[in-house]
Structure 1
Amino acid sequence: MDIFVAALLPMAVVFIMFSLGLGLTPADFARIAQRPRAFCIGALNQIVMLPLIAFGIILGFGFTGETAVGLMILAACPGGATSNVITKLANWDVALSVTLTAAFSLTCVITVPLVLTFAVTYFMRTEAPEIDITSTAITAFLLTALPITVGVALRAFTPKAAAVIDPPVSMAATLLFIAVIAGAIASNWQIVRDNFASLGLGLIAMVAVVSFVSFALSRWLQATDREAKTISVETGVQNGALALAIAGLLVPDGPIFNAYAVPAALYGVVWLGSALPAFLLLARAGNT
């Protein structure tokens, strides 16, 4: 099963990012210039506020070592495509949601290596693994920026074909993501069960605090109600598959599901069991 997860994980992340790019047009990125305030508020929440809250949660719950690093990796990853679906269901700002997801998936080539380097240095100290920044950045580029770019290019040059394959590709990407998370959990069920009691509450707290503070901060910075809700969901949803892939880099020639990957795998359980129903209820309330 570990071999299954290791082989499927990079392919799943690439496919998910490609499906995201396939639904984008160059005009989506032009919205950044048209709506700089909303985008900058989203960037502040995702790139600055989210890692800071994750750091506070780690200190508050007393997490150390690989667990702390794994949580910081998760916080450094961009939002998942699920946030776009929730935003659409709630009739919030879909254009802003898609733009933020795509933009931060591209910029994670820079942000993930920086947060990762800080995390292993601060929490691992003398036991910190050697981090190859260049290799990590290249890996992040190959897993995120490149497939998104390919998807955008395909949509730009063959719009009719892209429109036809977009729905099944999006569905396949979602199923592939579920398969990866389920495979990682199933193949390491004992590890997941042993860590859920101590780590699960911290993950629930992180999602709840991040979502609430993100909304409040957005409103305080004069974002509209729809924009603030969109930014809150975007900041509260993380790309767990990408976090698993990044965690696997920290143990060369080791299992893809290592101690650093436990928070990302547990996040899938927490997300499906608590955060997703909460967001869906919020989305339903937004339509009434």
Structure 2
Amino acid sequence: MDSALTTVFLPSALAVIMFGLGLGLTVADFRRVVVYPKAAFVALLCQIVVLPLICFGLVLAFGLAPGLAVGMMLLAASPGGTSANLYSHLFGGDVALNVTLTAINSVLAVFTLPLVTNLAIAHFAGGDGQVGLQFDKTAQVFLIVLIPVAVGMAVRARFVRFAQRMEKPVKILSAVILLAVIAGAIVKEAANLGGYLASVGLITLVFSVLSLAVGYWAPRLSGVEPRQAIASCMEIGIHNSTLAITVAISLLGSTEIAVPAAVYGVLMFFTAAAAGILLRRSAARSATVPA
């Protein structure tokens, strides 16, 4: 796994993606959390605490092999993907809340992702030290996630028009990189692909559905209004599989750990679209019911 792809290309590509994310963020996005305190708090609680616990239960229930189990937990600890804003916009969510959650999650993930991953390795891999996210790897997560976001925000603050022009190209680049990484993982593990799909296909589907459901119903049951609940649904239900794959391959040196995120990265587009359609239809029916 020690190749130019894993040691140079993937971390560099992810840094570019996170830089692009920073181009769309401002300091005001972080401040906006005071405008949506309940919605933001509930969503972040689900993202940081509830989903890893749900994923842990699913992994135990499905009895996954250690590498795949760690991969699922890494996926659960990954923040919302960049597609969440688009899905939220398409299905009537509060996009401003999405931007706020993305901004906060991008920072928190620097600390929570290594923590959850290390705990998963210790539990499922027996803490034998063969695969681990030690301090130097944690520092790499910091370098390729938080710093590029901060640089992107600085560029946006100084060159607003340039940042706006670059948002679309970076989104396209993100999609291309994700497809390339998934293809590389498939080629690398071609002989084991059938077994991996049989092992993680169903669990990633169930996890995706539960992530979307928790993302919507936890805020709604807490009294959050529907548009913000839809935004939370997409932010929590669409995980950053590119980040999970990159960490698995380039930092942990394991294609097997990347498999759940690769499978999920394909399935999530369909489950998120289905959730959005159902929520939009539900909103339309509610609007036609006489008061």
TM-score (norm 2): 0.88
Give the counterpart of 1:278 among 263, 274, 287.
Answer: 274
Give the SS at the match of 1:24. Answer: coil
Contact 1:90 1:286 in 2 (8 A): no
Closer, same or farther: CA 126–132 of 1 in aligned 2, 3 Å: closer
1:100-141 Cα shifts (integer Å, max 9, x gaps): 112111111110111112111111225453635422321111
The SS at the match of 1:238 is coil
1:261 aligns with 2:258: yes
Q: Secondary structure at the match of 2:93?
A: coil
Query: Mean Cα displacement is larger for which, 225-234 or 159-168?
Result: 159-168
* 1:158 Cα deviation after fit: 1.1
Q: Which segment drifts farther, 238-247 or 177-186?
A: 177-186
**Over residues 12-59 of structure 1, what are the superposed CA-to-partner deviations in whole Å (9 max), with x where a residue is unaligned?**
211221111111122111101222211111111100111011011111
SS of 1:125's partner is coil
Change over 3 Å in CA distance of 1:178–1:281 after alignment to 2: farther
| Whole-angstrom CA distance in 1 between matches of 2:17 and 2:68 | 26
Count of paired positions: 283
Question: Where do 5+ consecutive residues of structure 1 fail to align?
Answer: none
**CA separation of 1:25 and 1:276: change in aligned 2, threshold 3 A:** same
Displacement, 1:206? 0.7
Letter in 2 for 1:261: A
1:59 maps to what in 2?
60
Residues in 2 aligned to 1:77 and 1:64: alpha-carbon distance in whole angstroms: 20
Structure 2 counterpart of 1:21, one-letter code: G
1:45 and 1:149 mapped to 2: Cα distance? Answer: 25
Alignment partners' CA distance in 2, 1:226 and 1:219: 10
Matching of residue 26 in structure 1 with residue 27 in structure 2: yes
Give the aligned CA root-mean-square deviation in angstroms.
2.4
The whole-number CA distance in structure 2 between the counterparts of 1:127 and 1:74 is: 22
The 1:4–1:178 alpha-carbon spacing in structure 2 relative to 1, beyond 3 Å, is farther
Q: Give distance in 1, aligned partners of 2:192 and 2:267.
A: 15
Distance 2:266 2:163 in 1: 33
Structure 2: gaps of 5 or more residues: 285-291
The residue identity in structure 2 corresponding to 1:278 is A
Show the counterpart of 1:45.
46
Q: Distance in 2 between matches of 1:219 and 1:287?
A: 13
Q: Deviations over 1:207-256 (max 9, x none)?
A: 111211232211111111111121111111111111112223565xxxx4
**1:228 maps to which residue?**
229
Per mean C-alpha deviation after superposition, the further-off stretch among 223-232 and 69-78 is 223-232
- 2:281 and 2:2 map into 1 onto residues whose CA distance is 41
Equivalent runs, 1:45-124 vs 2, <5 Å: 45-124=46-125
Q: Larger deviation: 184-193 or 114-123?
A: 184-193
Which amino acid letter does the alignment assign opposite residue 257 of structure 2? Y
Report % sequence identity.
37
- C-alpha distance in 1 between matches for 2:124 and 2:133: 17
Q: Is the 8 A contact 1:72 1:115 kept in 2?
A: yes
Q: TM-score, normalised by structure 1?
A: 0.89
The aligned residue for residue 154 of structure 2 is 153
CA distance in 1, matches of 2:63, 2:255: 20
Cα contact 2:11–2:250 (8 A) shared by 1:
no
Partners of 2:251 and 2:130 in 1: CA distance: 7
How far apart, CA to CA, are the structure 2 residues paired with 1:110 and 1:2? 25
CA drift of 1:8 comes to: 3.2
